[in-house]
Structure formats: structure tokens, C-alpha cells
Amino acid sequence: MKNQEAIQRDERTVTIENASYRWAYLLLTYGLLAVVAYRDFVLRESSWDLLVLVVLSGLVTTGYQAAHQVLSRRWAIVVAVTVVIAAVLALVITFLQ
């Protein structure tokens, strides 16, 4: 009985915690992006402070993963494609306004 009480965290607990952190991060990041888009398109306000938070959170995550050498070639390809798509969308939105 005493051994069962000593084990409070196992691999499953850590996995579930990490998944919950991932969901919270995604909700916060995309929520901030939605608020930035709403402020810009509807209220015509500048929201650089919120956009900087989104970018900095991504840089912190990437820096931490790079420091621990867990980034892969596939990750680099996905980032490159995402940057290209974002640039094209930015150009299209700029020309449409």
C-alpha cells in the first residue's frame, strides 16, 4: 500500500500533462491571432503588442527545442512552407485592400 502512494507521477501522467499544455498553447496562440485580426479588420486598431506575444511564444518554443536538439528536417520543411504561404497570403491581402 505504501508503494502505491509513493507513485504519483508516471509516464502517462506526464504525457497527459504535456498534451494539456499543448492544447492550452494552441488555444491561447490562435485566440490571440483572432483578437489581432478582429482589432485590425473591424476596429481598425493596431495590435502589434499581441502579435509580438504570439511570435515570441513561437520563438521561445523553437529555441528551447533547438537547444535540446529535437528539431528535425521535416520540421524545417514545414516551417519553410508555412513562411512562404504566409508571405503569399500577406501579399494577397495587401493587394485586396
Question: What are the structural domain ranges in the chain?
Answer: 2-70
Please list, residue by residue across 4-19, b when 16 or more beta carbons sit within 10 angstroms of its beta carbon and e when fewer do.
eeeeeeeeeeeeeeee
**CA within 13 Å, CB half, 22:** 6
Report pLDDT digits (tens) over 42-92: 999 988 888 898 889 889 988 998 898 888 899 999 999 999 999 999 999
pTM for the model stands at 0.65
pLDDT digits (tens, 9 = 90+) for 1-29: 555 555 677 888 888 988 999 999 999 99
